[in-house]
Amino acid sequence: MAEVINDTSITKIKVQKSLSPWAVARRKFLRNKLAMVSLFFLMTVSILSFLAPYITTADITRVNIGSMSLTPSSEHWFGTDKSGRDVFTRLLYGGRVSLLVGISCTLLIITFGTLIGALAGFFGGIVDALLMRFTDFILNFPLLVFVIVLNAVFFGKLGGVPVLIAVISVLGWGGVARLVRSKILSEKENEYILAAISIGSRPAKVIMKHLLPNVLSTIIVQATLTFAAMIVVESGLSYLGFGVPAETPSWGNMLAASREPDVLQNMPWIWIPPALTLVITILSINFIGEGIKDALNPKSLR
């Protein structure tokens, strides 16, 4: 056990501080090899992607007629695509967009879902009824279908990634809200909430200090799942041509190249890298999620 020595002036005695449940979870997580490897991979991909402009100087939009569809070489690690653009560079930039969309959607969805779910769950009654009706309403729109329809509506008018993120997020938070609500409801049943009220804590404090920390683990796990799902949604939409605008590189857009038969069969270097990166990224996120779930599992806390 890592010992934290506390010698503040108040006590003047050396006290062995216990690990908080979060610290315990962190330690357990750090010991999970699969999760750590996944985390390492994800970090690498993210860092490379977000530093893409500093790593390569190539203009990703420039079409190079002279160097189209080149096989991988020392100059172009993953070859070039049919527009003569370096696949590796595009992979990095694509990761930027795909991860950005994934993260933004996840953040929005989780924030909004948690907010709605927490309010509904904590206050109950009419607030709950109204919010949940609204959530049900949103949940009735099948995500893929409506993102496609909405994209057809908005694209060109506002254009691009922000709209996509907004559309996905607006349609996506319902599940999280429901989950958080039910979790809050069950957590609310615990006597420590009653105890907090009985010792005179205000509702805001009860939510912030007692309820949220205890549902946070659920939310975090849900966030990882959402993150993976959102990356899939983005790439799937882009693959179908309803996602990120074609001129912006994203993993889905890069993969869409495989819809051309010659690329699919004869130029695997154009689509295999994004496909593999995508699959491994999602795998990693899933493993990280599993890891977090295990680490936060209260059964193993004791």
Interacting positions 139-158 with other proteins (CB under 8 A) = 139-146, 148-150, 152-153, 155-157
CB of 165 to other proteins, least distance (A): 18
Phi, psi of 86 (to 5 degrees): -70, 120
**Which part of the chain contacts other proteins (CB under 8 A), choosing from 44-52, 88-96, 177-185, 264-272?**
264-272
CB of 43 to other proteins, least distance (A): 18
Instruction: Give the C-alpha separation, 233 to 235, whole Å.
Output: 6
Cα 235–Cα 236–Cα 240 angle in degrees, nearest 5: 115
- Cβ distance to other proteins smaller for residue 104 or 281: 281
Residue ranges in 186-215 that form contacts with other proteins under rule CB under 8 A: 190-192, 194-202, 205, 209-210, 213-214
Residue-wise burial string across 150-178, b where 16 or more C-beta atoms lie within 10 A, e elsewhere = bbeebbeeeeebebbbbbbbbbbbbbbbb
CB of 241 to other proteins, least distance (A): 3
Given 235, 244, 269, 295, the residue binding other proteins (CB under 8 A): 235
CB of 256 to other proteins, least distance (A): 6
Q: Is 230 in the site for other proteins (CB under 8 A)?
A: no
- Cβ distance to other proteins smaller for residue 74 or 279: 279
Given 12, 13, 54, 57, the residue binding other proteins (CB under 8 A): 13
Q: What is the dihedral of CA 15, 18, 19, 21, to 10 degrees?
A: -150
List of residues 6+ apart from 152 with CB closer than 8 A: 242
CB of 207 to other proteins, least distance (A): 13
* Closest by CA position to 16, among listed 7, 26, 25, 28: 7
Residue ranges in 25-84 that form contacts with other proteins under rule CB under 8 A: 61-63, 65, 68, 82-83
CB of 11 to other proteins, least distance (A): 7
- Cβ distance to other proteins smaller for residue 75 or 136: 136
CA distances from 246 to 135, 143, 229 (A): 32, 21, 21
Q: Is 3 in the site for other proteins (CB under 8 A)?
A: no
Instruction: Give the C-alpha separation, 147 to 141, whole Å.
Output: 9
- Cβ distance to other proteins smaller for residue 54 or 66: 66
Residue 209 per-residue DSSP state: I
CB of 286 to other proteins, least distance (A): 6
Angular region, 241: left φ>0, alpha ψ -120 to 50, beta rest: left
Number of residues that bind other proteins (CB under 8 A): 90
Q: Which two tokens stand for residue 227?
A: 């993150």
- Cβ distance to other proteins smaller for residue 51 or 213: 213
Q: Is 124 in the site for other proteins (CB under 8 A)?
A: no
Instruction: Give the C-alpha separation, 279 to 46, whole Å.
Output: 15
Residue ranges in 91-120 that form contacts with other proteins under rule CB under 8 A: none
